Structure 1
Amino acid sequence: MPHSALPWFWSEQYDKRLHIAGVIDHYDQVIIRQSFAKGGFSRLYFEGNLLKMVVYVNSVKDFIAAKQRIVQKTALDLNLVQTESDLKNVCLKNNHNFIVIQKKYNLQ
């Protein structure tokens, strides 16, 4: 992935790995993805169909794919984000359970 100004952060806390990327000042929707197999979860913040920020716990591969989607400003099908297990495949056509919450928040 080419160098970008995308801010990101990671931390290891015991058996958990936390990864955060992006900035949100406005979002329309948050999708929470639960990964029972890995003991983790993710929160994906969208403005329209553009991914703006992600928070991942114990899901490095999806985090890398999400960072790429944010930098590339790839439009995503939110229905596929909720149903596909692998985020890197979503823009082309993710063993998780999904919940869609929080709509129309402006953080300014």
Structure 2
Amino acid sequence: MAKSSTKAAAAKPAAKAAAPKKAAAPAAETSEKIAKTQIIDMVADRTSLNKKQAGESVAVMLDVVVEALKDGKSVGLPGLGTFSVAKTAARQGVRPGTSEKITIPAGKKVRFKVASTLKGNL
């Protein structure tokens, strides 16, 4: 029994040491990424809209951007940058597991060019 109590005692300090790391992780995530709900809260705070209206506004804005990109149009957001659709050519690739050569088909991808005003302020 003495061995199991020693293991339990050894496990407790490790648990205490791990707890501060978990507390620090959300703070790091908050500074690195802003979620859609946080954007909605910010819009609601800075405007006369309530959270439901702000959520609808943000959702509609994002839908409009996505629809425009699907139609092949570019979307300019002053002070932020420009989203555009670029065609990619077919190319040769290698399958990682087997090293077999494969052809990657032509497609499209979204590009983003940062506005010079934002780039200068970073």
TM, length-normalised to structure 2: 0.18
Return the structure number with greater helix share.
2
Q: Name whichever structure is richer in strand by fraction.
A: 1
Q: Given the two structures, how large is their TM-score scaled by the length of structure 1?
A: 0.19
Structure of larger gyration radius: 2
